[in-house]
Amino acid sequence: MTTQLLDLPTELLAIVFSYLPGTYLKKLTDVPQVKYLAIDALYSSIHFGWEKPSHLGYYDAIIKIEEVGKEFEPDVYGTDLEDPLQFAKEVVSKKIPKPKVIYFEKFKDLYEVSEYDSTILQDVKIGFTIDDFKKYGITDSRNIILENEVIQKGYQIQKLYQLPSQWVLDYYFIDDEGYPEALTYGRRFLSYVFPNLSELTISKAIPKDVLKYLPQSLSILGCCVESSDIDTDEELEFPEQLHHLILTLQDGAVTYNLQRIKYLQKLSVIHGCKNHRFLLPPNLKEFLSIWGYVQIGEILQQCPYLTSICCEKFVGCRIVTADGLLGESQVHRLELPQHEFFAPNQDFALLLPPTLTHLIINGYVPKIQFRPPQDVVILDFNTNRLDNLQSLVLNEIQNLKLIGTLPVSLTKLTYHVHAEFRFEWVEDLPNLTKLSIKYGLSPSYSILKCGSQLEFLEIGYCYLHQAHIVASKLKYLNLSHNSFSTISTRKITIPEGVIELDLSYNRMRKIDSGFQFPSQLYKLALDGNGISDLPELPSHLKEFSCFNNAERIKWKNKLPTSLEKLNLNGDHINDEELQMLDLKRLNNLKRLGLSKNIIWTINVDDFPTSLTHLFLFENYIATIHGNFSTLNNLVMLDVSDNQLGHYINYGSKQVPEVFGTNIRYLNTNNNNKVITQSQPTFLTSSFRRLKSTLWNYMS
């Protein structure tokens, strides 16, 4: 008898859901049978990371129209929130459950939640960055607030990031007697927080003597130890219970003896060099090197159970992969720079462990001191029988030679290589669900037959002008940065099941009126093209981006009311066209970008009250009718670089009356310019330059 997932006990389902990324959990909140389990898991761990931007910009990160297929391979767990006060209100009203863990990137967000209702943070594991509190005078208002919130209210601070190293030094090494009273606050704070900490990062270097005083409860520690006073082979006294150590290294010949950390599972080193050596506990499972050099052979000899070796952003000379140890290891995940695979011929190709499930090869790195006579990356699938390989990433490689056939076990393939890709290679990969190709596919391909399981397809920088895609399960399609000047049924076939589509930067001038987008499409990107007419968009569309369009769009068809995110920055929209858009009817719209247009007058009543984020910077706005306070959900507004100086009292810190008091992030910078509408020459020449720059870039 088969067991369905929903037949499992609720307690077990809750554990399963706790491991799911937020993108999946959000979808599960629409499933009645598991709605409340999904909501509990979604808000179990949350993160507040916003700060007031000096200039918000029209980047996708702000409007949050993510790249196509982002949810296909999620790597972030937990939920990001922006507005602490709104969060507090929803917890108190029981619209969302009380979290178990909250991380505040800025202490002001913690303070705002606490001021609204301090019980929200009781019995919650809290983490925050302490960089705001580098001063520790007892009369400093920030420190008084910090003391009240953390110590007197008894919050459970378990994660502390960017702790100033001077705080630690003063806490342990300065005698109370005769020392100014200003120190007592910092010491009292640390004496309260340290015993319960599980995660800690320290800014700047600390002497080795501090290590033995750090909380023994720590499971994650990030720090830099001054190398000048480390003796040869001296065993460093890190907390013995550490599971993950992030160690920033200083220059100089040093041996880091970490053998006393018996439970260490992951070691991350930053800025390593040839002068650094490591003595490691044998049970280490993961080793990560960032911006530096490491001796892989030395690591493998000491750690027979190692399952992951990653060298990211490598700068320097070639790594010595040492005596075939890598090929004999049990490593599952491997990330190396391309020069580790340089070989004059097949006989000298790098031997890889048969246990590999994930392999990443990163392209050209500057300042490589050692180069073989022929810089050819050889990846030999005949000698290396990688029958367990699931994911292969070939990233920005200039000269690649593949020997043999790709393993049938592959589920994900990224081929960003300046060498020919043949679609026949993947036709016999029955498990492939994700395929990303850049540079290597010939534009002569017009019919693209994909595997039966493929869900994600990306083809970019390949000059494609036709693509008839055969893929029955395809959901995510990215054909940006190609040469589709016209979108028509003769030029392109998009599988009906596609829900996210990107056709940006194709020098596209026309979409045939008879062309039908997939009916269930909910994300569409047409950025950086030259479209003058838009066909009717799918009725279920939730996210639409068409910024930096080189031609003025006529807006004959109404936008779908289902839209939640809309990016129309840099589209030559004037006052008349703003009225034609009829944005008021988009009652689901939350994020709207209208920056870098030619708008002179704003009527607040023309916007839907559902808006939470509105971007109007770099227009010519001189007049605002109405008050932004009527948009009672608006938390972020950018009207910088306009002509609104007469609305703004620059000598006062109070929010101007026209903007109301609800807006959390308000940018009104650079509003002193005065331009009249009787200057059409200025506008015309500006947009001619914009169009010329855009099309030159795309060509």
What's the Cα-to-Cα distance from 621 to each of 4, 53, 610, rounded to whole Å? 58, 20, 22
Question: What residues have CB less than 8 Å from 7, skipping those under 6 apart?
Answer: none
What's the Cα-to-Cα distance from 327 to each of 165, 351, 386, 544, rounded to whole Å? 42, 5, 11, 48
Is a pLDDT exceeding 90 seen at residue 236? yes
Specify the DSSP element, H or E, that contains 192: helix 182-193
Is a pLDDT exceeding 90 seen at residue 604? yes
Residue in the block written with tokens 């052979």: 297
Residues in the chain: 699
- Residue 248 has a pLDDT of 95
Q: Of 175 and 86, which is predicted with more confidence?
A: 86
For residue 214, the SS3 value is coil
Comparing 191-205, 299-313, 618-632, 669-683, which segment has the lowest mean pLDDT? 669-683
Q: Which of the four pLDDT bands, split at 50, 70 and 90, describes residue 681?
A: very low
Q: State the Cα–Cα distance between residues 306 and 265, nearest whole angstrom.
A: 9
The model's pTM: 0.88
- Residue 480 has a pLDDT of 97
Q: State the Cα–Cα distance between residues 386 and 405, nearest whole angstrom.
A: 11
Q: Which of the four pLDDT bands, split at 50, 70 and 90, describes residue 563?
A: very high
Q: Which of the four pLDDT bands, split at 50, 70 and 90, describes residue 678?
A: low
Q: Which of 84-88, 89-93, 661-665 has the highest mean pLDDT?
A: 89-93
- Residue 214 has a pLDDT of 92
Report strand pairing: 358-362 vs 377-380.
unpaired
State what percent of residues in the chain have pLDDT above 90.
53
Q: State the Cα–Cα distance between residues 108 and 103, nearest whole angstrom.
A: 12
Q: Note the pLDDT tens digit of each residue in 337-393.
A: 888 888 888 888 889 999 999 999 998 654 444 454 457 899 999 999 999 999 999
Closest CA to 281 of 301, 262, 300, 268: 262
For the segment 487-492, the average pLDDT, to the nearest whole number, is 95
- Residue 2 has a pLDDT of 52
Comparing 182-186, 469-473, 572-576, 638-642, which segment has the lowest mean pLDDT? 182-186
Is a pLDDT exceeding 70 seen at residue 3? no
- Residue 599 has a pLDDT of 97
Q: Note the pLDDT tens digit of each residue in 429-485.
A: 999 999 999 998 999 888 999 888 999 999 999 999 999 999 999 999 999 999 999
Is a pLDDT exceeding 90 seen at residue 10? no
Is a pLDDT exceeding 50 seen at residue 139? no
Instruction: Give 256-262's long-range contacts (Cβ < 8 A, gap of 24+).
Output: 256/225, 256/230, 257/233, 259/235, 260/235, 260/236
Closest CA to 263 of 308, 295, 205, 217: 217
- Residue 688 has a pLDDT of 40
Is a pLDDT exceeding 70 seen at residue 8? yes
- Which alpha helices (DSSP H) does 140-181 contain, by range? 141-147, 165-173
- Residue 142 has a pLDDT of 54
For the chain, the average pLDDT equals 85
Q: State the Cα–Cα distance between residues 319 and 296, nearest whole angstrom.
A: 7
Give, rounded to a whole angstrom, the gap between the first and last alpha carbons of the chain: 60
- Residue 689 has a pLDDT of 41
Phi, psi of 65 (to 5 degrees): -95, 95
Q: Which of the four pLDDT bands, split at 50, 70 and 90, describes residue 141?
A: low
616: which 2 tokens? Answer: 């109007």
Task: Look up residue 126 and give its DSSP letter.
Answer: E
For 512, counting Cβ atoms within 10 Å of its Cβ (0-12 exposed, 13-18 middle, 19+ buried), the class is middle
Crossing angle for the helix pair 107-116 and 84-92, nearest 10 degrees?
A: 30
Is a pLDDT exceeding 80 seen at residue 170? no
Q: Note the pLDDT tens digit of each residue in 294-332.
A: 888 889 999 999 999 999 887 555 665 656 789 999 999
Is a pLDDT exceeding 90 seen at residue 238? yes
Is a pLDDT exceeding 60 seen at residue 172? yes
